[in-house]
Amino acid sequence: MVHRSGGTRDASAPPDAPDRHSPPRSFVEQANVTDDSIYETFDEEWPDCWRRAASLLSWDRPYETVLEDDDAPFYRWFTGGTLNASYNCLDRHLEAGRKNHAAIRWEGKHGETKTYTYRDLYVRVNELAAALRGLGVEGDDVVTIYLPMIPELPIAMLACARIGAPHSVVFAGLSADALATRMDAAESEYLITCDGYYRRGNAFNQKSKVDNALLSLEQDVTTAVVDRLGDDLPHVLAETEFDYDELVGEYRGETVEPVSRDAEDMLFLMYTSGTTGRPKGVVHTTGGYLAYVAWTTRTVFDVEPADTYWCAADIGWITGHSYIVYGPLALGTTTVMYEGTPDYPDRDRLWEIVDRNAVDVFYTAPTAVRAFMKWGKEYPEKHDLSSLRLLGSVGEPINPKAWEWYHEHIGGGECPIVDTWWQTETGGVTVSTLPGIGDMKPGAAGPPLPGIVTRVVDADGNEVDPGESGYLTLTRPWPGMARTLYDGGDRFLDEYWRRFSDPDAGEWVYESGDAARVDEDGYVTLLGRVDDVINVSGHRLSTMEIESAVAAVTGVAEAAVVGRSSGPGGTEVYAYVSTERDADPEAEIRAAIEANIEESIGRLARPESIVFTPELPKTRSGKIMRRLLEDVSNDEELGDTSALRNPEIVGEIQEAIRDEETGDR
Binding stretches for ligand PRX (CB under 6 A):
272, 317-319, 394-397, 419-424, 445, 512-514, 526, 529, 535, 540
In angstroms, the CA 145 to CA 269 distance is: 11
In angstroms, the CA 488 to CA 491 distance is: 6
Residue number with CB closer to ligand PRX (318 or 336): 318
In angstroms, the CA 13 to CA 79 distance is: 45
Residues 293, 330: contact at Cβ < 8 Å? yes
Residue number with CB closer to ligand PRX (118 or 271): 271
Residue number with CB closer to ligand PRX (166 or 480): 480
**Number of other residues whose CB lies within 10 A of the CB of residue 162:** 29
**Number of other residues whose CB lies within 10 A of the CB of residue 634:** 15
Please state the closest distance from residue 516 (CB atom) to ligand PRX, in A. 9
Please state the closest distance from residue 524 (CB atom) to ligand PRX, in A. 9
Please state the closest distance from residue 540 (CB atom) to ligand PRX, in A. 4
Residues 35, 443: contact at Cβ < 8 Å? no
In angstroms, the CA 542 to CA 273 distance is: 5
Residue number with CB closer to ligand PRX (196 or 366): 366
Please state the closest distance from residue 459 (CB atom) to ligand PRX, in A. 18
Residue number with CB closer to ligand PRX (84 or 430): 430
By DSSP bridging, strand 82-83 and strand 261-262 are antiparallel
Residue number with CB closer to ligand PRX (325 or 445): 445
Residue number with CB closer to ligand PRX (317 or 496): 317
Please state the closest distance from residue 600 (CB atom) to ligand PRX, in A. 19
* Selection from 183, 187, 188, 207 nearest residue 197 by Cα: 207
Residue number with CB closer to ligand PRX (47 or 569): 569
Please state the closest distance from residue 237 (CB atom) to ligand PRX, in A. 34
Residue number with CB closer to ligand PRX (299 or 424): 424
Residue number with CB closer to ligand PRX (229 or 318): 318
Residue number with CB closer to ligand PRX (340 or 395): 395
- Cα dihedral sign, 290-147-483-312: negative
- The radius of gyration of the chain from alpha carbons, rounded to an integer in Å, stands at 25
Residue number with CB closer to ligand PRX (457 or 657): 457
| Per-residue DSSP letter, 8 | P
Strands (DSSP E) found in 246-298: 261-262, 266-272, 280-285
Residues 334, 102: contact at Cβ < 8 Å? yes
Please state the closest distance from residue 539 (CB atom) to ligand PRX, in A. 7
Residues 143, 193: contact at Cβ < 8 Å? no
* Selection from 429, 481, 474, 468 nearest residue 455 by Cα: 474
Please state the closest distance from residue 546 (CB atom) to ligand PRX, in A. 16
Residue number with CB closer to ligand PRX (395 or 479): 395
N residues, the chain: 665
In angstroms, the CA 305 to CA 97 distance is: 13
Please state the closest distance from residue 515 (CB atom) to ligand PRX, in A. 9
Please state the closest distance from residue 512 (CB atom) to ligand PRX, in A. 6
Query: In terms of C-beta density within 10 A (0-12 exposed, 13-18 middle, 19 or more buried), how is residue 597 classed?
Result: buried
Residues 631, 638: contact at Cβ < 8 Å? yes
Please state the closest distance from residue 544 (CB atom) to ligand PRX, in A. 16
Residue number with CB closer to ligand PRX (395 or 480): 395
Please state the closest distance from residue 392 (CB atom) to ligand PRX, in A. 9
In angstroms, the CA 425 to CA 304 distance is: 26
Residue number with CB closer to ligand PRX (20 or 124): 20
Rounded to the nearest 5°, which phi and psi values hold at 234? -65, 140
Please state the closest distance from residue 542 (CB atom) to ligand PRX, in A. 11
Show the CA angle centred on residue 222, arms to residues 220 and 223, nearest 5°. Answer: 130
In angstroms, the CA 370 to CA 332 distance is: 32
Give me the residues paired with residue 614 across strands: none
Please state the closest distance from residue 387 (CB atom) to ligand PRX, in A. 24
Residues 536, 604: contact at Cβ < 8 Å? yes
SS3 state at 196 = strand
In angstroms, the CA 198 to CA 51 distance is: 44
Show the CA angle centred on residue 289, arms to residues 286 and 295, nearest 5°. Answer: 125
**Number of other residues whose CB lies within 10 A of the CB of residue 610:** 23
In angstroms, the CA 165 to CA 44 distance is: 37
Please state the closest distance from residue 421 (CB atom) to ligand PRX, in A. 4
* Selection from 394, 280, 320 nearest residue 145 by Cα: 320
* Selection from 511, 428, 434, 456 nearest residue 77 by Cα: 428
